[in-house]
Amino acid sequence: MPNQTDKFVSVIIPCRNEQKFIGACLDSLLAQDYPKDKMEILVVDGMSEDGTRETVKKYSEKYPFIKLVDNPKKHTPFALNIGVKTARGDVIAVTGAHSMLNKPEILMRIDAHASYKNNYISKSVEYLKKYDADNVGGIMKTLPRSNKVITRAIALALSSFFGVGNSIFRTGANEPRVVDTVFGGCYRREVFDKVGLFNENLVRSQDMELNLRLKKAGGKTMLTPDIVSYYYPKDNLKDFFTHNFQDGIWAIYPLKFTKTPLRFRHYVPLLFVLTLPLSVWPYIPASLFFSAKIALREKDWRLFFALPLAFAARHFGYGLGSILGLIKLIR
């Protein structure tokens, strides 16, 4: 197989106030087996106030290919588009095939809340070519921030079919497959010329909306289990509920700004809450069944009591947020 490391990769990290995670994220990228002279890391920061910027500056002093880029509008879609536009060589007119080696041909979104297996970038570049894909991604393994029972339950809920439905990048896959969307994503640069930038009206779900636009335009997004990242979710029920509530809003409200709807699984919690007097009765035994199944697998009976709370925070939070999103949509 031809050497895949001739591709210059721009890694984009949108973040704001991620002091707790940005160091580990950057360390996992520095540990990548991809040549450092063939990559740049753009940390697009939403004017953080918790020391994130100072941490990134220390890294950039030691590693010049790590760059801190300002995002004065703070929200993620602006950060992503700033990253795409800032990526080295973007404004350079390229007329010869050999000069493409000096231009980032591949753009990769990285989440500050995650860390990455050391072959994440090299495998992504390899599979872009192998499957002639426009975007590739892999499995996101959700890990708890601590060994507390409720924190473990939250991570397990986000890795289970009952918790997230058929979200394959969360629940896992045994072989490569074409999918609607992936976590993060590694894009060919021409994708943005083909379908445009991220929708800046979408505070959340902007990556999913872009991937669905890509699919509509005939593009291909591939998921492969060989590409692995590790994600650390909220560690308490209050924050977990709030996060899902916000996700629910942005599962429905984006229809105000785009004609590209999300997948059916994103509307299930809305239907669940709207039909609560009927749906709660099958929901309770289902929640207990999956909680027992996971607790037995993990050999920890305490999870049987914690998982129903995590599932409820996920489903009720998402469903109630979806109702608010629907209200905002029709107003």
pLDDT given at position 101: 29
Long-range CB contact pairs, 59-68, < 8 A, 24+: 59/23, 59/26, 63/30, 63/36, 65/36, 65/37, 65/39, 65/40, 65/41, 66/26, 66/40, 66/41, 67/40, 67/41, 67/42, 67/43, 68/43
Of 119, 154, 183, which one is at a domain's C-terminal end? 119
Of 92, 119, 146, which one is at a domain's C-terminal end? 119
Closest CA relative to residue 136, chosen from 107, 111, 158: 107
Helix/strand/coil (H, E, C) string of 212-234?
HHHHHCCCCEEEEEEEEEEECCC
Report yes or no on 274 lying in a domain. yes
Whether the Cβ atoms of residue 137 and residue 227 lie closer than 8 Å to each other? yes
pLDDT given at position 300: 98
pLDDT given at position 2: 42
pLDDT given at position 220: 95
Report yes or no on 284 lying in a domain. yes
Report yes or no on 220 lying in a domain. no
CATH code of the domain containing 1? 3.90.550.10
Report yes or no on 149 lying in a domain. no
Neighbouring C-beta atoms of residue 110, cutoff 10 Å = 27
State which residues form the domain around 35.
1-119
Whether the Cβ atoms of residue 269 and residue 248 lie closer than 8 Å to each other? yes
Handedness of CA 289, 294, 300, 306 (dihedral sign): negative
Report yes or no on 231 lying in a domain. no
Handedness of CA 164, 169, 174, 180 (dihedral sign): positive
Residue 282 buriedness (CB in 10 A; 0-12 / 13-18 / 19+): exposed
pLDDT given at position 99: 24
Neighbouring C-beta atoms of residue 289, cutoff 10 Å = 11
Whether the Cβ atoms of residue 109 and residue 191 lie closer than 8 Å to each other? no
Of 68, 88, 119, which one is at a domain's C-terminal end? 119
User: What does the alpha-carbon distance between residue 184 and residue 207 come to, in Å, rounded to a whole number?
Assistant: 8
Buried b (16+ CB within 10 A) or exposed e, 84-103: bebbebeeeeeeeeeeeeee
Whether the pTM exceeds 0.95: the reply is no
The contacts of residue 238 (CB under 8 Å, 6+ apart) are none
Report yes or no on 43 lying in a domain. yes
pLDDT given at position 105: 59
Amino acid letter for position 269: P
Query: Which stretches in the chain have pLDDT values below 50?
Result: 1-2, 89-103
How many domains does the structure of the chain reveal? 2
Report yes or no on 223 lying in a domain. no
User: What does the alpha-carbon distance between residue 210 and residue 76 come to, in Å, rounded to a whole number?
Assistant: 13
The contacts of residue 167 (CB under 8 Å, 6+ apart) are 265
User: What does the alpha-carbon distance between residue 123 and residue 174 come to, in Å, rounded to a whole number?
Assistant: 16
Report yes or no on 236 lying in a domain. no
